[in-house]
Amino acid sequence: MRERYIDIVKGLSILCITLLHYVHNVFPNEVNVFVGSFMITSFYVTSGWVSAMHPSQRSLKEFIKKRWKQLGIPYLWWSAIILVFDFILLGFRYYDLRYIATEIYKTITFRGIGTLWFLPALFGGEIIWHWLKYRKKARMILFALVLSLSYQYLYSHFFGGKTETIYRIIDAPFRTICNILGAWIGIAFGNFAYILFKEKILTSFNFKLAIYGIFTCTFAYITANYLPPFLIPVWSLFAPLFGPLGLLLIAKSVQNWRVLGFFNYWGLHSLNLMVTHYSIVLVLFTIFIEKGMERPFDGDITLYCFFASLPFQYLLVSLVNKYTKFTLGK
């Protein structure tokens, strides 16, 4: 049984992802950093949260088979669909062969085209956590955490800020590993957070629950933007984890508000919006503004395009669900 507040958080997060992909030079940097810190990790934390609510009794092999259908199949289908779309734009000389080759390489290395990188990351992260959780050894989890953070630090040290072609080629598989490691940490945090809070906090009155959530989100905002320099190497353990937790607590307190049905809808269809908005719909809007209207895709017009894109995204949800639901692993 789906919990409405979880879909509300997922809906808010996927809309934030879409919004920040559209807008340029619209919001203050502090807002962009804060929203950017939790919009992806919300899906990791909610995954762990749900896994604690409904513990899986499946073997690792059964679990992989199930999640491959839900995450792996959509990755393959939408990689192929977007590549076909890219080849069409190649025919109109919007893309060149070098760009197409890069997209194919990213697909093969599971770095992913556009937002599709998220699917292998979540898939790999869930496998790691499923394996670790049933070992029931705290030292093993702690060792895996230290190893993962060390890898992320070294990755950032060697590849951070490098734009040369050779670095971008070498980077792809290492970035995939980095994404997977970040995913399992978020999933584990969500799992432990639910276990820790389910008795004392989740049974509290809605007002008290909302206060806890607002406090947690405030902490996340501060750590996203003003973390002391000596803590920067472990920045990923603060805002990216506590932001989603705060949103879950707030959403739990207000989940019965009918006005939140908009976010609930996009939470239910977050995968559809994830795979279509960046590499297809946003590209079409960019072409229309830059080629059709001969204006730079920047400033307020990017915000208008975000709102204008939502009816198209609604249409895509309807079409995909009616005719090509199998591409979403359904």
What pLDDT shows up at residue 162?
Answer: 76
Residues 185, 191: Cα–Cα separation, whole Å:
10
The SS3 assignment for 152 reads helix
Average pLDDT score over residue span 308-324 = 96
**Residue 124 has which token pair?**
């790999």
Give residue-wise pLDDT tens across range 197-246: 887 777 777 888 999 999 999 999 999 999 888 888 888 899 999 999 99
C-alpha angle 71-152-34 in degrees, rounded to nearest 5: 75
Task: Kindly report the average pLDDT of the chain as a whole number.
Answer: 93
> Which own/partner contact pairs does 67-72 have at CB distance under 8 Å and 24+ positions apart?
67/123, 67/126, 67/127, 68/123, 69/329, 70/329, 71/119, 71/120, 71/122, 71/123, 71/329, 72/119, 72/120, 72/123, 72/329
Average pLDDT score over residue span 304-326 = 96
What pLDDT shows up at residue 200?
Answer: 72
Does the pLDDT of residue 168 top 90, yes or no? no
Give residue-wise pLDDT tens across range 25-66: 899 999 999 999 999 999 999 999 999 998 888 899 999 999
pTM for this prediction: 0.95
In which band, very low, low, confident or very high, does the pLDDT at 99 lie, cut at 50, 70 and 90? very high
What pLDDT shows up at residue 146?
Answer: 95
Selected residue with higher pLDDT from 276 and 205:
276
The SS3 assignment for 299 reads strand
Average pLDDT score over residue span 64-89 = 97
Residues 67, 60: Cα–Cα separation, whole Å:
11
Does the pLDDT of residue 157 top 90, yes or no? no
In which band, very low, low, confident or very high, does the pLDDT at 286 lie, cut at 50, 70 and 90? very high
Does the pLDDT of residue 161 top 80, yes or no? no
Average pLDDT score over residue span 265-290 = 97
What pLDDT shows up at residue 55?
Answer: 85
Does the pLDDT of residue 117 top 80, yes or no? yes
> In sequence order, what are the beta bridge partners of 24?
299
What pLDDT shows up at residue 167?
Answer: 79
In which band, very low, low, confident or very high, does the pLDDT at 73 lie, cut at 50, 70 and 90? very high
Residues 220, 242: Cα–Cα separation, whole Å:
6
Average pLDDT score over residue span 110-132 = 96
Q: Spell 31-66 as b/e; 16+ CB within 10 A means b.
A: ebebbbbbbbbbbbbbbbbbbbbeebeeeeeebbee
Average pLDDT score over residue span 141-154 = 94
